[in-house]
Amino acid sequence: MSNQALAEISRIIIDERQPPQALQRALDDYSRLCSQATGIMPDPGFTKWADDTFLAEGVAINPQSAAYCLKDYQRSINYIRGIYAAILDLKRRTPADPVNILYAGCGPFATLILPLLVNFRATELNLFLLDIHQASLDSVRKLMTFFALDSHRITLIKGDACRYRHPQTLQLIVAEVMQKALEQEPQFAVTVNLASQLSDGGIFIPQAIHIALCLGHWKEEKKACLEGKAFFTEHLYSSHLRHLVADILSLTPTNAAALHKQASYSETSGKYEINIGRVCIPDIDRLTTFDALLTTRIEVYRQYTLNDYASNITLPHKCYELSPLRAGTCFRVCYQLGSYPKFEFTPENSLQD
Ligand SMILES: C[S@@+](CC[C@H](N)C(=O)[O-])C[C@H]1O[C@@H](n2cnc3c(N)ncnc32)[C@H](O)[C@@H]1O
β-bridge pairing 304-306 and 330-336: unpaired
User: What is the residue with the minimal CA distance to atom 11 of ligand 1?
Assistant: 105
Across-strand partners of 208?
Answer: 299
How far apart (Å, rounded) are the C-alpha atoms in residues 291 and 280?
14
Query: Mutation test of ligand 1: which of 40, 54, 61 has the most ligand atoms closer than 8 Å to its C-beta?
Result: 61
Rounded to the nearest angstrom, the distance between the alpha carbon of 107 and the centre of ligand 1 is 5
Residue among 168, 43, 192 at smallest CA distance from 107: 43
**Ligand 1 neighbours (beta carbon < 6 A):** 55, 60-61, 66, 69-70, 104-107, 111-112, 130-133, 136, 160-162, 176-177, 186, 190
- CATH 3.40.50.150 is right for the domain spanning 2-206: yes
Rounded Cα gap, residues 79 and 304, in angstroms = 7
Q: Is there a contact between 182 and 296 (Cβ–Cβ < 8 Å)?
A: yes
Q: Residue 80 Cα, ligand 1 centroid: separation in angstroms?
A: 15
User: By the 8 A CB rule, do 66 and 185 touch?
Assistant: no
> What pLDDT tens digit does each residue of the chain (353 aa) get?
588 999 999 999 999 999 999 999 999 999 999 999 999 999 887 455 678 999 999 999 999 999 999 999 999 999 999 999 999 999 999 999 999 999 999 999 999 999 999 999 999 999 999 999 999 999 999 999 999 999 999 999 999 999 999 999 899 999 999 999 999 999 999 999 999 999 999 999 999 999 999 999 999 998 888 887 766 777 888 888 899 999 999 999 999 999 999 999 999 999 999 999 999 999 999 999 999 999 999 999 999 999 999 999 999 999 999 999 999 999 999 999 999 999 999 999 776 55
Neighbours of 25 (CB within 10 A): 14
Q: Where are the domains of the chain?
A: 2-206
- Cβ density class 289-308: b for 16+ within 10 Å, e for less: ebbbbbbbbbbbbeebbbbb
Rounded (5°) CA angle 190-194-200: 150
Q: Ligand 1 mean position to 220 CA, how many Å?
A: 32
The pLDDT value recorded for residue 46 is 46
Tell me how far apart the alpha carbons of residues 324 and 291 are, in angstroms, rounded to a whole number. Answer: 9
